[in-house]
Structure 1
């Protein structure tokens, strides 16, 4: 297997993780400045004050980056174990992991 083919397979297997990693970094670098209903970690608890809003969004960005790293590594493992099943484990785990971020962030700001 040549390097280009390997990189193509790695990207296919780790796409969701890499996407979340990039989004988490962008979210961390450009957090929402004010409480709003468009961009940011928006729950009833997080929108109660600017202080809670900032705390929730900083924490959420950190957790999204962690999930991105985890899913990228999981995708690489998936590439070795099941090379023909693109992102199988990433697709199965992304929903529960994002729900975990919401629950964990909500607990963090409580």
Structure 2
């Protein structure tokens, strides 16, 4: 399993970020080919209380599936949309996820 983690620093306007993120960006993400699951959180920390306002996680079957999704027209649309709402930028972290033997 391979994951894509996106961390969003504090935006200039939280309400504008949330509107665009929910109404435009998440629907674009949902169209990524090979997407197994996705989850997000907004308002992770209070203003000026931490380094990140929001977090997004997408799950793919493999690194190859993630790479293909990002290279696809849908992936290009997702990446092109980020500057439209993420005024604080975005930190993107792809990683191979492991599950522990016991939980």
Q: Tell me the TM-score range normalised by the shorter chain.
A: 0.3 to 0.5
Structure-2-length-normalised TM-score:
0.34
- Structure with higher strand content: 2
- Structure with higher helix content: 1
Q: Which structure: larger Rg? A: 1
Higher relative contact order (CA 8 A, sep 6+): 2
Structure-1-length-normalised TM-score:
0.32
